[in-house]
Structure 1
Amino acid sequence: MNHRSDLETDGEPDFDNVNRSESECLVGWDDDNDPLKPSNWSNARKVKNIAPLVYCSFLTPLGSTMFAPAIEQVTKSFDSTNSLLSSFSVSVWILGYFVGPLFLAPLSEMHGRFPVYMVCNALFVVFNVATAVAPSLPALIVFRFLAGMFGGCPLVVGAGTLGDLIKPLNRGKVIALWSISVILGPIIGPIAGGYMGETVGWRWICWTLSIAAGFGAVVAFIFQEETYPLILLQRKAARLRKETGDSSLRAAAKPERNAAQIFARSIIRPLRLLFLSPIVSLLSLYQGVMYGYLYLLFTTFPTVFRNRYGFSAGSIGLVYIGLGVGSGISVPIVGFVMDHTAKSVIRKGRELNPEHRLIPLLPVCFCMPIGLFWYGWAAEAKTHWVVPILGTVFVGMGINTLIMCAMTYLIDAHPLYEASAAAAGAATRSLIGAVLPLAGTSMYEALGLGWGNSLLGFLALIMCPLPWFFYKYGGRIRTNPQFQLKL
């Protein structure tokens, strides 16, 4: 009897047909074309489930940066002179991304996608409302942390939902569409937040996000449904037990582990990859530092462009466009180079390795230090305001290319545990992205914009050999028995 008892295997689980043993009857899909199978649902039904996911995935990163232009308003509102706390009020949202995946992902495996979405959507609304009425700066920080933690649900569980609904051959373009919403959020956030902070105040930024989140929660409740195959099979088995009176009917691939074991494996596996795999460790560290630079810029742009160029609270949001343009440029270029490289390698009869995913990053890794040097010294010299913003275009290209290439590389290098490898990178990015910006203001005060950003640029330049190193030696490291982990 060919029966797999859990969902740890790569690809789509084998739930086809009803397999019998002496003690039970295992209920699976009737066949690969079973209309109850989520990947066989109609396109309209899939769109109905994916559209709320895309909308909610846009809102969470939007909220992470929409608050940034109003930092000075917040400190004045609470009579605070602590620049560390004011910066942390922005980056603490990202710290929520570090904590959330550790329990949201296993919960979606235990209870299905739908209840996790619904609870997290509701809590996202609650804690955004709490930020709008926060009585103090420490309370605001706590509420933003909780909003980020639960608001990150679509970013954590969304990949699983798309895997449930979309067959592998069509998955790429749908995930690309989903990724666009995630990329646009952090860029549009400061633009909208800048004008809102100037006109209606920072609390209405929080109220607006609460209203948008409430709309998303209602839409998701109406249109989304359960897509997790195991839960659907359990429902099918329950329905058949009721209809036939056969108590031996059980869903195929029912997990044999209890809740504690699921949580333990979900949490420990990413941590083992992070600390015991040199590839995951160094690439995660590289991503984390560059992501931290990005949020350091997010939190310091308002002060720099207000003091240096006299930007108003509304117009400050426009300075983030450079990062958005750079990120937007990188998406089609990296996608084209990756696809072209893969086709070229296969056409030449060679094996496509994860290291080929790093090819776009080999030249573009230098964009980050170039952009930091350009931005820092242009702002230091008080050149026309468009000049430092042009420097941030290179920063946007560098960080987005790094994240796309590193993520694809880690997924390809760990085909059975791509989620764990991705979680290790995401956790590191989020932790450093939340902590590093706290040093931004004091660094600029001590070194100035020119040498302060040059320090960051030199550190980024030191890390540039990493993609080249892994492109040349990554295969040997991956296949070395010394680094083969039993996960």
Structure 2
Amino acid sequence: MSKPASLTVTDTEFGDQEAETLANLGLQRGSDGLISWRPDSKDHPRNWTSARKIFDTTVIIFLELFVTVVSTAGASAAHAAQPEYGIDNVSSILAFTFINRQPLHPALSEPIGRRTPNLISCGIFSLFSLLTGTVPHFAAVWTGRFVTGVTSAVPAVVTAGSIHDMFGGAQHVWLVVVWNAGSTAGLCLGPVYGAYVASACGGWRWGFHCSAIVTAVYFLCLLGVRESRPSRILKGKMEVLRRASGGGSGTGNLDWFNPDHAADVRALVRLVVVQPLRLPGTELIVVMVTTISAVSWGIIYLFTESLPDVCMPMSAGFTRTSSSLAFLAFLPGVVLSLLPRFEGKIMGFAIAAPALAVGLMWYAWTIPPAAAQVHWPVPTAALVPVGFAVSEMAYTLSAYLTDAYQLYAASAFCGLAFVRALVSGVMPLVGQQMYPGLGANIAGTIVACFALVFCLAPWVIFRYGKTLREKEPFRQTQFGEPSQESGSVAD
């Protein structure tokens, strides 16, 4: 456990006056002498009113959904913009998709809170979306997509921590489910958004104009969202106590536990840079599940490049715009990912792994040229189990990281987001080369074979998960004994 951050003033004897002063602020002094939250404090995010929680949670979840939509809309924009700029296909895909959603920022939501990163990133996202769609130079696309990619990764990193701040127990479980389902749905809706906004409004630039407008509205909504990180709120209360103690309030020493305290610049760098990058590289189960989640998530990005080209030959009525509707077939699978919540996390993962392999193999061998006479609904239906698997795997990892790392969930997600963004950025380039080069059937089979390997992962977790978690070095260093993992209002 980290050492407590001390704000020491002249000590006085603890007594009724101190207890009353602390109680008025929703605080108490524990048996260890440190000041902490009272379980019934109305200012702790777990005890906020339902209306406050609903508003804040709705805003941050839908912000994450929309920026995810914009991330997968890049493939359709890349094809539309290519003739305008006179560039090759690879350069266009690189600019519109690969550099998008790269989380180069550290996990700043721990030391500076949840609200500020969301506000700043949303405002920047809106401005650079406008730049991408307005400035008629290819350099603007590179710059705009890179900056929006970096800032769009912020909600993915922050939202997990925000949900943990405000909810516990069953509410927390279902909110993480909804958040993950929304993110996966956003991946699938992106190609449809990009294709149809461009078609309806007169060009690919309108996809980014609309993005700028929508995120500007979200920015205004975020102004009404409260800071939810308990340690940040508690720090403000300690400042109030310090000033009051100087005026003779009768409060004793002001030592309190601050998990975000950094004694110097080196400690701050460790907290916001080293720690997020170390988690997915040193914790064995996190390495395994991060890899699986990143690859399964990236499969949707693979389809953004390959699916329209596969769909168009299957029906004379399909255009590149209408073929984007095939992505809607993923959505029923996303909805089905709610069902395993009545069983258990790992059991859902055990179902999702083979579902992904079966869905990908089914798709690979019911598309042209091997299945030239098969009607398009047959391979399209194969996308339902793929959507289920991607959503379920994302939930399993999210739930694991949130449960295991609690206050440090945003740090854990920062490392995950980095790996996932790299894989997702590479996938459209892989699809652009692999499907035409090998043929859709062979390329699809190779992808399905990778998914078959993932079927071993649930059984590794069943058999060795507890042992591996107990040996994780970060977990032992930060949390110590299991009794300190309660996730209660005292966190």
TM-score (norm 2): 0.81
The 5 Å alignment of 1:287-366 reads 287-306=293-312, 308-310=314-316, 311-330=318-337, 332-338=338-344, 357-366=345-354
Report the Cα offset of residue 45 of structure 1: 2.5
Deviations 1:359-388 (A, max 9, x none): 222243122222222222322233222222
Report the Cα offset of residue 480 of structure 1: 5.5
Structure 1 letter corresponding to 2:155: P
Deviations 1:166-211 (A, max 9, x none): 3446323333343343233222222232222223211001101110
Deviations 1:444-479 (A, max 9, x none): 121110111111112222332232233223334444
2:122 maps to 1:116: no
The 5 Å alignment of 1:227-266 reads 227-242=228-243, 245-246=246-247, 252-254=256-258, 255-266=261-272
The 5 Å alignment of 1:433-452 reads 433-452=424-443
Structure-2 change in CA distance of 1:181 and 1:279 (3 Å): closer
Match of 1:10 in 2: none
1:166 and 1:159 mapped to 2: Cα distance? 11
2:221 to 208, 216, 219: 219
Is 2:44–2:230's contact at 8 Å kept on the other side of the alignment?
yes
Q: Which moved more, 1:275-284 or 1:235-244?
A: 235-244
1:374 to 346, 362, 373: 362
Deviations 1:298-329 (A, max 9, x none): 22223333355452243122110112222221
Report the Cα offset of residue 251 of structure 1: 7.5
1:390 and 1:244 mapped to 2: Cα distance? 67
Report the Cα offset of residue 67 of structure 1: 3.2
2:193 maps to 1:187: no
Structure 1 letter corresponding to 2:221: V
Identical pairs, percent: 25
2:395 maps to 1:404: yes
Structure 1 letter corresponding to 2:350: L
Is 2:35–2:257's contact at 8 Å kept on the other side of the alignment?
no
1:337 and 1:375 mapped to 2: Cα distance? 28
Structure-2 change in CA distance of 1:141 and 1:388 (3 Å): farther
Structure-2 change in CA distance of 1:236 and 1:417 (3 Å): closer
Match of 1:75 in 2: 82
TM-score (norm 1): 0.81
1:484 and 1:20 mapped to 2: Cα distance? 24
1:282 to 288, 296, 303: 288
Match of 1:59 in 2: 66
Q: Give the aligned CA root-mean-square deviation in angstroms.
A: 3.2
1:195 and 1:484 mapped to 2: Cα distance? 47
Report the Cα offset of residue 4 of structure 1: 4.3
1:175 and 1:280 mapped to 2: Cα distance? 18
2:428 and 2:245 mapped to 1: Cα distance? 61
Deviations 1:124-149 (A, max 9, x none): 11111111124344531331121122
Match of 2:17 in 1: none
1:40 to 42, 47, 64: 47
Is 2:80–2:204's contact at 8 Å kept on the other side of the alignment?
yes
1:470 to 442, 461, 470: 461
1:226 is paired with a residue whose SS is: coil
2:104 maps to 1:99: yes
Structure-2 change in CA distance of 1:413 and 1:226 (3 Å): closer
Gaps in structure 2 of 5+ consecutive residues: 7-25, 479-491
2:401 and 2:113 mapped to 1: Cα distance? 26
Deviations 1:218-244 (A, max 9, x none): 1211x1122333332333343455556
Is 2:156–2:417's contact at 8 Å kept on the other side of the alignment?
no
Match of 1:9 in 2: none
2:274 and 2:416 mapped to 1: Cα distance? 14
Match of 1:267 in 2: 273
1:270 and 1:371 mapped to 2: Cα distance? 33
2:52 maps to 1:50: no
Is 1:110–1:259's contact at 8 Å kept on the other side of the alignment?
no
